[in-house]
Amino acid sequence: MRIIGTGSALPRKVVTNEMLTGFLDTSDEWIYPRTGIKTRHVITDENLEDLGAEAVSKALEMSGLNAEDIDLFVVSNVVSEYVTPSISCIIGEKLGLKCPMFDINCACPGFVYALDMVEAYYKAGKIRNAIIACVEEPTRMASWKDRGTCVLFGDGAGAVVLTEGDNVKGTKLHSEPSKEEIWETITLNDTPYITKKEETVPMQMKGREVFKFAVNACTHGVEDLLDEVGIDKDDVAYFMIHQANQRIIDAIIKYMGQPAEKFPVNITDHGNSSSASCPILLDECNRKGMFKKGDILVFSAFGAGLLSGAAVIEW
């Protein structure tokens, strides 16, 4: 398939590191060197589905397609206020979409997983046009009393519209199943028969283990995929890396031996927006005019599961 439209949407509220010092034992001097984050966008009175609809609308407008042209709508989302219906259906109703649609929860690499899925549908001859939207509010998952997690995240939505083409050169998905590194639990509604212990626990994260997995999964996944599709990393125009932590990105840059200029970043302003980070970064770079026809873009993302994925796209 071929990307013909991109869009993104962010909450209005911008929270600086300095603002966090009002209720956390932290500071910009503590946060920025460890994460690369200065500010993040945080949902206040917005609904996540409205941000998703805005991002999709922008991508559709750029593509020149209409809602009735879309054959498949895939939404990557980890958490929202709705258990059911799916957030894809809620956004789809707002936009007048009538095609098959579903949600996936692959955490931060959700964009790459969705890309792999829609490409498979296209190659099977089932679709011509598709939309991927990644809509996330990870600020609702962390405890805002835990400076080790809440300072990392920001909310937002990113979307792409794809049509017929041979521009997805390859995808590679990877898993190392383990719930110990990143996890969160919620208590479900009670029944007269529940005897097991249940507990609501905000996001827990083992930073060192996550760092190691992220760097290894990204570098090995990207190199293996580039070898498979026969593209040298020197010929890659941009590496679009999940914006999880600047230290992770810096370690990946060092390992890959490529110029830092080939690794666009927006984590300083946005923080980690889970699966939305890659399509938001893509849209911002696209609207700046950074890409030219024929450019090779490499996407790589990693997160809870543990899951990771890489994709090579020709612009």
CA 125/CA 245 separation, integer angstroms: 38
Told to judge if 189 belongs to the known catalytic residues of this protein, a careful annotator would answer no
Task: Give the count of alpha carbons within 13 A of 97, CB side only.
Answer: 28
CA 213/CA 315 separation, integer angstroms: 29
CA 20/CA 35 separation, integer angstroms: 15
Cα maximum dimension of the chain: 62
CA 177/CA 191 separation, integer angstroms: 30
For 197, other C-beta atoms within 10 Å of its C-beta total 6
Q: Please identify which of the residues 242, 245, 278, 286 carries the catalytic annotation.
A: 242
Q: Please identify which of the residues 17, 89, 106, 108 carries the catalytic annotation.
A: 108
Q: In what helix (H) or strand (E) does residue 42 lie, and over which residues does it extend?
A: strand 39-42
CA 121/CA 10 separation, integer angstroms: 30
Q: Please identify which of the residues 17, 77, 129, 272 carries the catalytic annotation.
A: 272
Told to judge if 108 belongs to the known catalytic residues of this protein, a careful annotator would answer yes
Report CA-CA distances (Å) from 158 to 23, 171, 203: 30, 19, 23
Distance of CA 152 to the CA centre of its chain: 14
Contact status, residue 63 vs residue 160, Cβ threshold 8 Å: no
Told to judge if 272 belongs to the known catalytic residues of this protein, a careful annotator would answer yes
276 is written with which tokens? 């939305």
Q: Which residues of 248-260 are buried (b: 16+ CB within 10 A; e: fewer)?
A: bbebbbeebebee
Give the single-character DSSP code of 3. E
Q: Which of these, 309, 302, 278, lies nearest to 136 by C-alpha position?
A: 278
Query: Which residues are tagged catalytic?
Result: 108, 242, 272
